[in-house]
Chains A and B, each alone.
Chain A
Amino acid sequence: MSNVSIATAGERAPARYQPATKLGVTGFGFYVYLLSDAILFSALFATFAVLKTATDGGPTARDLFDLKNVGLETACLLTSSFVCGLAMQAAEARKPRELAVLLGVVFVLGASFLTLEIHEFGGMIAAGAGPDRSAFLSAFFALVGAHGLHITVGLIWIGSLLVHIMTMGFSEAYQRRLFCFSLFWHVLDVVWIAIFTFVYLLGVQP
């Protein structure tokens, strides 16, 4: 009978036919969500690319963007991505104190990035270059703002991970959440690469 043969095969099946672990399934599901998030960002990028020159006589990218600020933001985000990797290692080595410190560093770097970005947005809006000025600026605020919003959510997430590790310690569920967070944070950094290249560095070219 085929049923029997399947049942016996199950016991001695090679490892690759074994059911995936919960971490594997959750991680893959979250990875697919992140890919769909990348598609959302690609739509915002396409919008920005189309509206790049629609400045309506208002300020252009060259007038508005300060590459020094963008460089600082990039440094914060890249370093936080690296520290996030180190935090994953600390978690795997089951070192809660080290993990808490590293997550704290990730939080501070992420918050610095967000502060720089809010400062930049505030300066632009105060100078009359808000999202209502031109189609170019609407597209700019939609794209960079969507990324900033993701970073904000990430900061809230780090906060909850910090509270969790300090009060309840490690668990299998904690490991899954931390893993998903690290994927989220690294992908946000990848999106930022596209933003600083296509929006800022190419934007300020004459």
Chain B
Amino acid sequence: MTDSVVSFPAHLRTPGTDTRGSTGRWPTYAVGFALAAGLTVASFALAQGHWLTPASLVAALVVLAIAQMIVHLIFFLHITTAPAQKTNILALLLTLLIISLIVIGSLWIMAQLHTHMVPMDQLMQMQR
């Protein structure tokens, strides 16, 4: 009952099971932790400071959040573009497509409805 995790070949591994020597991997987590912490501090500092215009602040925070998510995917979840991980990447891409359809679609539809709807006070007038 030894090394059930280490014994199978690289191309069969799912994210997080990349085991090139069990002691050789903690620096990966340390690098990921440092990067994520830096990006978090940057987000909080930008949000509380007054260095950027509102529009560029939104853009900056979104970029920082996406960057930190990518850091997490690479350093903590070990998702890479290696051919061995094709299935993982395809599943992730499909999920991203569905998520963007849900989020962008909802916002779009609701904004459309909002612009086309008769304001509530006028609606009350019409019902009288």
- With contacts A27-B14, A45-B103, A183-B77 known, is A50 near B110, CB below 8 A? yes
Give the CA-CA distance A201 to B60 in the complex, in Å: 11
- With contacts A50-B107, A179-B16 known, is A71 near B77, CB below 8 A? no
Residues of A contacting B54 in the complex (Cβ-Cβ under 8 angstroms): 205-206
Asked if A81 is at the interface of the complex by the 8 Å CB criterion, the answer is yes
Asked if A142 is at the interface of the complex by the 8 Å CB criterion, the answer is no
Residues of A contacting B30 in the complex (Cβ-Cβ under 8 angstroms): 82
- With contacts A27-B17, A35-B92 known, is A197 near B77, CB below 8 A? no
Q: Which residue of B lies closest to A85 (CB)?
A: B29
Give the CA-CA distance A50 to B4 in the complex, in Å: 48
Report the minimum CB–CB distance from A139 to chain B (whole Å): 12
Partner pick for A78 among B37, B77, B95, CB 8 A cutoff? B37
Query: B65-102 interface mask toward A, CB cutoff 8 Å, 1 = contact, 0 = none?
Result: 10011001100110000000001100110110011001
User: Which size bracket describes the interface of B in this complex?
Assistant: 35 or more
Tell me if B72 and A190 are in contact (CB < 8 A).
Answer: yes
Tell me if A46 and B44 are in contact (CB < 8 A).
Answer: no
Asked if A9 is at the interface of the complex by the 8 Å CB criterion, the answer is no
* Residue of B9, B14, B95 with highest tally of chain A CB at under 10 A: B14
Residues of A contacting B69 in the complex (Cβ-Cβ under 8 angstroms): 190, 193-194
Tell me if B37 and A88 are in contact (CB < 8 A).
Answer: no
Q: Which residue of A lies closest to B83 (CB)?
A: A16
Query: A41-74 interface mask toward B, CB cutoff 8 Å, 1 = contact, 0 = none?
Result: 0110111011000000000000000010001001
Q: Which residue of A lies closest to B9 (CB)?
A: A15
Report the minimum CB–CB distance from B34 to chain A (whole Å): 9
Partner pick for B72 among A43, A88, A189, CB 8 A cutoff? A189
Give the CA-CA distance A47 to B62 in the complex, in Å: 18
Asked if A97 is at the interface of the complex by the 8 Å CB criterion, the answer is no
Give the CA-CA distance A79 to B62 in the complex, in Å: 22
Report the minimum CB–CB distance from B48 to chain A (whole Å): 6
Tell me if A92 and B19 are in contact (CB < 8 A).
Answer: yes
Tell me if B76 and A81 are in contact (CB < 8 A).
Answer: yes
- With contacts A82-B32, A186-B77 known, is A171 near B1, CB below 8 A? yes
Give 29 pairs: A residue, B residue, CB < 8 Å, sorted on A: A16-B11, A21-B12, A28-B87, A31-B14, A31-B15, A32-B91, A35-B91, A35-B92, A35-B95, A42-B98, A42-B99, A43-B102, A45-B103, A49-B103, A49-B106, A67-B44, A74-B40, A86-B26, A89-B29, A92-B5, A92-B22, A93-B22, A172-B1, A190-B69, A193-B65, A197-B43, A197-B65, A198-B65, A201-B44
